[in-house]
Amino acid sequence: MRKSDIARLVAAAREARARAYAPYSKFPVGAAVLAGDGSVFSGCNVENASYGLSCCAERNAVAAAVRAGARRLTAVAVAGNSAAPLAPCGACRQVLSEFNPAMTVIMASRDGRTSTTRLDRLLPRSFGPRSLARRAKKQSKQ
């Protein structure tokens, strides 16, 4: 992945982080996903007093991409307000995997340091569309 794409995604994630609604955790997070056509879609975390109804930045970025018609995502950047680069939570890893299990994951810290890996390294042996196809195939043989 080009350094310019990484910088663009991290900047979009940091900008989204500035708009986060995190009155309970006081931990704003921003994310940006890169679509196959080069489009960037961002999202921020939106908390709720009923904590289980809160939504992570990564899932909001994916929702924005899907709403715009993007289905193939090639990368995600996550920017938190932490000293170390911030990785997506498990639920977000699963959602991101739906759109490309091998996407590039760029994790950014509050001071701009980044760490990059692939999603399939963060979520090995993920459950996805192929898992459902194998199950259906197995059931049809019974």
Q: Crossing angle, helix 3-17 and helix 57-67, to 10 degrees?
A: 110
Tell me, letter by letter, the H, E, C secondary structure of the chain.
CCHHHHHHHHHHHHHHHCCCECCCCCCCCEEEEEECCCCEEEEECECCCCHHHCECHHHHHHHHHHHCCCCCEEEEEEECCCCCCCCCCHHHHHHHHHHCCCCEEEEECCCCCEEEEEHHHHCCCCCCHHHHHHHHHHHHHC
Residue 136: band (very low, low, confident or very high) from pLDDT cuts 50, 70, 90: low
3-class DSSP assignment, residue 3 = helix
Higher pLDDT, residue 134 or 41: 41
Domains of the chain in start order, with CATH, are: 3-141 (3.40.140.10)
Q: Answer whether residue 134 shows pLDDT above 90.
A: no
Q: Answer whether residue 137 shows pLDDT above 70.
A: no
Q: Percentage of residues in the chain with pLDDT exceeding 70? A: 94
Is 98 catalytic? The answer is no
Q: Which of 15, 47, 58, 98 is catalytic?
A: 58
pLDDT tens column, 39-79 = 999 999 999 999 999 999 999 999 999 999 999 999 999 99
Q: State the average pLDDT for the chain.
A: 93
- Per-residue pLDDT, 38: 96
